[in-house]
Amino acid sequence: MHAEAGGTSSRKNGRTIVLLALVVAGSAFADSLAPLYFEPSERGAKWLTLDAVDYEGNGRFSLGLVGDLSYRRYRQLNSLDGSVLRTATQFDLAGHVGGSVSLLGALRVGMDLSVIPVVSSAQLVDGVPSAPPIRTPGLGDVRLAVDGRVLGGTAGPARLGVGLRAWVPVTRGEGDGQVRLAPQLNAAGNVGLLRWTARAAWQFNPSDLGSTHPAIRDGLQLGAGAGLSLLDDALLLGLEVNALTQLRGAGQAPSSSIPVEGLLGLHWQVTPSWRLSLAATASLTQSFETPIVRGLLAVEWSPRLQPPAPTPPADRDHDGVPDELDPCPDQAGPTDAGCPTPPPAADAGTPEPAPAPPAVEPPPAVEPPPVVEALPPPPPEPAVKPVEVVAGKLVLDPIAFVPGGATLAPQSIPVLDAAAATIRKLPGDNRYLVQGHTDSSGDARVNQALSARRARAVVAWLVAHGLDAARFDASGLGATKPIASNDSPEGRAKNRRVEFVVQSR
């Protein structure tokens, strides 16, 4: 009897231990279902996860929504023999809303807010009944970003940018409740129809506590992408690959596999202001953090802001000559003089007739020399050299202004005529960024404002002569982009310039 009772007690204790082990294992299994967060690029970028480093303009903003549907499959393994104890699947539908604004032609500030998940469900398979949804809708961390281009322009084979990301917790449920930072380095370029991009970022917790969240880990984030630009840059078909290497994580063992995810996307500029992106991703490594498949849909709105029309120069007599250059500002005259033509001299009376000259005998007839046809004179040199497109810019003669002002000098009119004629011959959907530059003489803020007024004056002249204002953006860079030394008069003269940057679609 005592032996039987002891056996019964042992069996009960054994069942209790097995039950506790299953509860602990089930809890660990449920925790592993937390997904690796998808991080979209800033709104206005041409890629879904990477950056083209081509932000431009001053005050141009972008708003967008990204939808993310992911599917994962998990296996719980027996620690003794490696056999599969159970398998689960999980679906998550999340959203990202955000916006960005470009500043000073080379900076961008952005924000992204994730709603994770809109829908989330998990199901145990292999004959085990379904489990309830493991997560409820909620807000994720707010991501703040600032990026700056330090090398290259908006086009060209290579450009380089630096940036910083900061995640600020909104609710405890969807993040790890800690501020995270990620300085990053971005590179991109255009080579013919090829578009390429690359990124390296280090995500860390500045409190040095590390993250205990199973899907948010300190580590090095690497990404690269390449694609083809089609239909005059209105369509981009590209591949993006992202990976995360774990550097440290409090309370975590290192992952047995680096999460690597490949993305194939189609990006379509539907109108100049609307952009649509569709993409599908797949896990390239066996890692529980990475979904088996993921579908993405992004819609963005980036309106083209019309620059304010510059105030035309004062011209009181309406003769086409600005008052600053008109010697007779209150009397209309020819456009090349500014003053009316003076009247002929008054008649002083009828003069006495001059005496007739004495008769002179005509000279003897002389045989005229043979006529020799002269060669035609050579064609005259053009007053203005032809305008060409070189390395994404219009190459033209210097555009001159009144010293210290933004009024076009008369000798600049033929140069602008040639520029306008060339723009009419180029594709009609090209856009042009007109940039004003100065030398380093004087106050930097005054130089920047003067360069912006000069760029707007050039755009105003082109619009007044029949070109569409929507195709032009004007900006002033002051003395920040010299092309020669400011230590000599010749170098300062070269730095005082207006450039046309061609932005092809």
Domains of the chain by residue range? 31-301, 388-503
Query: What residue ranges in 25-127 does DSSP mark as E strands?
Result: 61-77, 84-103, 107-124
Contact 200, 182 (CB under 8 A): no
Superfamily of domain 31-301: monomeric porin ompg (2.40.160.40)
CA-CA distance, 416 to 410, in Å (whole number)? Answer: 11
Question: Which class for 360: exposed (0-12), middle (13-18), buried (19 or more C-beta within 10 A)?
Answer: exposed
Give pLDDT, residue 36. Answer: 46
The confidence score (pLDDT) of residue 229 equals 92
Q: What is the pLDDT of residue 244?
A: 80
Predicted local confidence at residue 93, as pLDDT: 82
Q: What is the pLDDT of residue 25?
A: 34
Q: Among residues 201, 197, 195, which one has the least CA distance to residue 187? A: 197
Strand, coil or helix: 454: helix
Q: How far from 483 is each of 99, 155, 440, 470, 480, CA to CA, in Å?
A: 35, 18, 12, 29, 10
Question: Residue 264's closest CA among 307, 227, 301?
Answer: 227
- Tell me the pTM: 0.52
Residue 130 bridge partners (DSSP): none
CATH for the stretch 388-503: 3.30.1330.60
Are 180 and 205 in contact, with CB atoms under 8 Å apart?
Answer: yes
Tell me what pLDDT residue 472 has.
Answer: 92
User: Could you read off the pLDDT tens digit of each residue along the chain, which spans 505 residues?
Assistant: 444 444 444 444 444 333 333 333 333 333 333 334 678 999 888 899 998 888 877 888 899 999 888 877 666 656 677 666 666 667 778 888 999 999 888 899 999 988 766 555 555 554 444 444 445 567 778 899 999 999 988 878 999 999 999 988 877 555 567 788 999 999 999 999 999 999 999 888 776 555 555 445 578 889 999 999 998 888 999 999 988 876 544 444 444 457 788 999 999 999 988 999 999 988 777 655 456 788 999 999 988 765 555 677 787 777 777 777 666 777 776 655 556 666 654 444 555 565 666 666 666 666 666 655 556 666 555 567 888 888 888 888 999 999 888 899 999 999 999 999 999 998 888 899 999 999 998 888 889 999 999 999 999 999 999 999 989 999 999 999 999 999 999 999 999 999 999 987 6
Residue 32: the pLDDT is: 32
* Dist CA 197 CA 267 (whole Å): 15
